[in-house]
Homo-oligomer: A and B are copies of this chain.
Amino acid sequence: MRARTPDGVLLGPAEVDPDAKPGYPGGKAEGEATLAAGAERLAQLQELLYANGVAGTGTAAGHDPSLLLVIQAMDTAGKGGIMRHVVGAMDPQGVQDAAFKAPTDEEKAHHFLWRVRPHVPQAGFVGVWDRSHYEDVLIHRVRGLTSLPEIEQRYAEIRDFEQELVAGGTRILKVMLHLSKDEQQGRLAERLDRPDKFWKYSPTDVDERAYWDEYMEAYGIAIAQTDTDHAPWYIVPANRKWYSRIAVQELLIGALEDLDLEWPPADFDVDAEKRRLAAS
């Protein structure tokens, strides 16, 4: 699902079809079974990560691993569904969620990375960021909230920041849920048709649609500038919600499998403890 051609050329959102389902030959019904099976596997792997963080066994590099999933998307692309159906399968005790909305005055008075740093997942945890520091090079570029030279500098600062996280033991996955403008129109229309969805709608959603092309361009530049081997971007087609969920789930599973973790060994005498327990 990574937006790379086999020869390593990174594609931008313009080259990825939001209706596609790369890497998955099945249909929706089969996809639901895949998602359910994947949920169990993901929960197992996350427990293994957590166990290693709790036990403090350490990796070869001397740091216990953690995992950070960054999700960026246009409105209605399905972030909420990813949270419920993919992230929700993991033990909430080992997941550190953070949602980054419009910055507060205090956040604006700091460097743009200030507000995300406290949410870097600790060893053994999966951090999930619903929007992120990328807002500061996306909406900021599109709406001119920050000057272009400063935006350019931010790409470099983001690369350095993510490199620092990786050096600290955090594995990073960055996902753009890629929706088409037409599909967004349909999803917003549904919110206007259903009183139980009114609360999800804001008139600014329509205002933002006028900048769709500029957003896609800003995504393309941000992705090209910050896609690195240690913190790769994946452009996940999101017109089919069921597909985007199994795609993100698979990315999480793959990242956790790559850590190649084992259950931490006992740091006590198992037989002696069995005797103590039996007598207790």
Which residues of A are interface residues toward B (Cβ below 8 A)? 43, 51, 54-55, 80, 83-84, 87-93, 95, 97, 99, 128, 130, 185, 188-189, 192, 195-196, 198-203, 206, 209-210, 263-266, 268, 270, 273-274, 276-278, 280
- Name the B residues within 8 Å of A196 (CB-CB): 263
A99→B99 CA distance, assembly (Å) = 20
**Do the beta carbons of A263 and B91 come within 8 Å of each other?**
no
Smallest CB separation, A118 vs chain B (Å): 12
Cβ of A55: which chain B residues have Cβ within 8 Å of it? Answer: 199
Judging by beta carbons under 8 Å apart, are B199 and A276 in contact?
Answer: no
Cβ contact within 8 Å between B198 and A264: yes
CB distance from A67 to the nearest CB of B (A): 15
Min distance, Cβ A23 to any Cβ of chain B, angstroms: 26
- Contact among B51, B84, B203, B274 for A192, CB-based, below 8 A: B274
What residue of chain B has the Cβ atom nearest to residue A193's Cβ?
B274
B93 touches A92 (CB 8 A): no
Q: Tell me if A's interface is mostly helix, strand, loop or mixed.
A: helix
| Chain B: CB-nearest residue to A98 | B93
A192 vs B51: C-alpha distance in the bound complex, in angstroms? 15
Q: How far is the CA of A93 from the CA of B130 in the complex (A)?
A: 9
Q: How far is the CB of A169 from chain B (nearest CB, A)?
A: 18
Contact between A88 and B92, CB atoms less than 8 A apart: yes
* Residues of the B chain whose Cβ atoms lie less than 8 Å from the Cβ of A97: 92-93
When C-beta atoms are compared, the residue in chain B nearest to A43 turns out to be B84
Shortest CB distance A85–B (Å)? 10
Nearest first, the 10 A-B pairs at minimum CB distance are A51-B199, A198-B266, A209-B280, A196-B263, A199-B264, A206-B276, A55-B199, A84-B91, A206-B280, A92-B97
Residues of B within 8 Å of A95, CB to CB, are 92
Which of chain B's residues have a CB closer than 8 A to the CB of A266? 195, 198, 201
**Residues of B contacting A206 with CB < 8 Å?**
273, 276-277, 280
> How far, in angstroms, from A169 to B198 measured CA to CA in the complex?
23
Closest B residue to A263 by beta carbon equals B196
Q: Which residue of the partner chain, among B80, B203, B270, contacts A276 with CB atoms under 8 Å?
A: B203
Q: A92 contacts which of B84, B185, B199, B209 (Cβ < 8 Å)? A: B84
